[in-house]
Amino acid sequence: MTVPVITVDGPSGSGKGTIGHRLADHLGWHLLDSGALYRVTGQACLQQGVDWQDEPAVAQVARNLDVHFESAPTGEVLVILAGEDVSRVIRTEEGGRGASTVAALPSVRDALLSRQREFAQAPGLVADGRDMGTVVFPAAQCKIFLTASAEERAERRYKQLIAKGESVSLPRLLEDIEERDLRDSSRAVSPLVPAEDAFVIDSTARNIDEVFAEVLEKVGEKALI
Ligand code: C5P
Give tens-digit pLDDT for 155-194. 998 998 899 898 889 999 999 899 988 888 888 888 899 9
Q: Where are the domains of the chain?
A: 5-217
CATH for 5-217, options being 3.20.20.70, 1.10.10.10, 3.20.20.105, 3.40.50.300: 3.40.50.300
C-beta separation of 32 from 125 below 8 A: yes
In whole angstroms, give the CA distance from residue 24 to residue 4: 12
Pocket of ligand 1 contains residue 184 by CB under 6 Å: yes
For residue 157, give every residue at least 6 positions away whose Cβ sits within 8 Å of its Cβ, in sequence order, or none: 12, 13, 173, 177
Ligand 1 closest atom vs CA 12 = 3
Ligand 1 closest atom vs CA 103 = 20
* Phi, psi torsion values for 12, nearest 5 degrees: -65, 140
Q: Ligand 1: distance of its center to the CA of 33 in Å?
A: 9
C-beta separation of 58 from 104 below 8 A: no
- Specify the pLDDT at position 118: 95
Mean pLDDT value across the chain: 94
Q: Ligand 1: distance of its center to the CA of 52 in Å?
A: 15
Pocket of ligand 1 contains residue 20 by CB under 6 Å: no
- Specify the pLDDT at position 203: 94
Give the mutation target among 58, 130, 180 for probing the ligand 1 site: most ligand atoms within 8 A of CB.
Answer: 130
Give the number of other Cβ atoms within 10 Å of residue 194's Cβ: 17
Which protein residue's CA is at the shortest distance from atom 11 of ligand 1?
Answer: 100
Model pTM score = 0.93
